[in-house]
Amino acid sequence: MSKKAGRKSAYEQKIKPRLSEIKKWLEKGATEKSIAKKLGISYSTFNKYKVEKTEFAELCKNRGKCVDDIENSMFEAAIGGKQTLKKVMKVKHVEYENGKRLKEYETLEPYEEEVYFPPNTTAGIYLLKHWGKDKGYTNDPATLRLKREEFEHKKEIDEMNNW
């Protein structure tokens, strides 16, 4: 059987040879639109190949490291704590010779500062709603309704038992 004649697809030319690069871009948090632009293809073409090519679809689903980094950062924000920040400050220098001022200049010098960040309650609530579903933290209306009904039912049983 002979090979198909004609031009190679955009997938074969622009995506397949750069799969390892695409994986790195995704891990660093690049959006699919920005990746499509870097590859020189339209976003609709990018999406078409996600549907047609299982290898590419699986690659695009896996944002493992990026998601892990965000979860870790959100957890750290939720509990608060100290963090070392790298900063830069302007330092004024003056050069003298024989008591005479020769020149004055400024430089930027790096330094580190430890800063306290208070716990972020919004991050805490978000994490509890997603990580603590088995402990009852949720926003799901159906689950909340069931919990409310269960509470009312237990209340009625207590009232009957105390009658």
pLDDT digits (tens, 9 = 90+) for 42-86: 999 989 988 998 888 888 887 767 777 888 899 999 999 998 999
Which of the two residues, 139 and 27, has the higher pLDDT score?
A: 27
Separation in Å, CA 148 to CA 105, 106, 138, 152: 69, 65, 13, 6
Rg (CA), the chain: 29
Asked if residue 137 has pLDDT above 80, the reply is: no
Q: How confident is the model at residue 3 (pLDDT cuts 50, 70, 90)?
A: low
Where are the chain's structural domains?
10-62, 81-117, 132-161
Number of helices (H), then strands (E), belonging to the chain: the values are 8, 2
Q: Give the Cα separation of 162 and 124 in Å (integer).
A: 39
Q: What is the pTM of this model?
A: 0.46
- Of 80, 81, 78, 66, give the one whose Cα is nearest residue 132: 78
